[in-house]
Structure 1
Amino acid sequence: MATPRLSAAASILSAVAAGVLLVGCSASVSIGSSTPKLSKDKLADTVAEKLAATTGRPKPDVTCPENLVGKAGTTTRCTLTAEDGSTLGISVTVTSVEGKQINFDIKADETASPAAN
């Protein structure tokens, strides 16, 4: 019986979902306001770098809809999009803020959504 092979995109999503459900990381920002913020583009780039480092795979395409406000407990949802168009949700939660450094956890959803037809 033939065994279907996972596409590279599916294996990336599987690795993220199965192997890196929780990755701690931190980012540093230098904003003049009293509450630090991490831009949505820098957040997406940081999440992608951490996932790539954890899985040993190339940096995935990650997008985040909003800036991350440096206040403990703040959350946002980002999306990893694979080459085949399937997506995986990623939760980002601020764990602490030290001066202008925002520390946050990354948690990938357990299952991916198939590509839209």
Structure 2
Amino acid sequence: MDDMRIGFPASLACGVVLVAGCSFSFSAGGNAVQRTTVEQQVGDQLAAKVGQRPKAVVCPDDLKAEQGATTRCQLEANDGSKLGLTATVTSVNGSDVNFDIQVDNK
């Protein structure tokens, strides 16, 4: 068990490089991507890249559907360690919104 708790943050850190370049596309259905959608997609991508889902991903706000718009979120590993991340809109095409995520190094 201890190996898993220690291993997850290391895996998470390795996954940062992989996730940082990921782009997500969603229909915004208005002028923003709902925070719950951002949270879900971040968790899904981390699970796919590092093989474990974070304990939680929490974003305080929706992500505005405007190129360059950002929202800061926090992810929590299963061992309780926390990392910040930024979701940034890279393009908007009608109701489709593309965004990248960048997980903090520390």
* TM-score interval (norm. to shorter): 0.7 to 0.9
Matches within 5 A, 1:1-117: 7-21=3-17, 22-31=20-29, 33=30, 36-57=31-52, 59-60=53-54, 61-111=56-106
- Deviating more after overlay: 21-30 vs 47-56: 21-30
Task: Give the structure-1-normalised TM-score.
Answer: 0.76
Q: How many residues align?
A: 103
Q: Whose radius of gyration is greater, 1 or 2?
A: 1
1:27 alignment partner, SS class: strand
1:91 positional shift: 1.1
3-state DSSP of counterpart to 2:98: strand
SS in 2 for 1:20: helix
The question of whether the paired residues in 1 share the 8 Å contact of 2:12 and 2:50 is answered with: yes
Greater percentage in helix: 2
Gaps of 5+ in 2: none
**Identity in percent:** 35
Structure 2 CA distance for aligned equivalents of residues 110 and 102 of structure 1? 26
Structure 2: distance between partners of 1:106 and 1:24: 7
TM-score by length of 2: 0.83
Aligned residues of 2:59 and 2:74 also touching (Cα < 8 A): yes
Which runs of 4 or more aligned residues in structure 1 lie more than 3 Å from their structure 2 counterparts after TM superposition? none
Shift of 1:6: 5.8
| C-alpha RMSD of matched pairs (Å) | 1.9
Shift of 1:100: 0.9
CA distance in 1, matches of 2:72, 2:5: 20
Tell whether the 8 Å contact from 1:68 to 1:76 is kept in structure 2 after alignment. yes
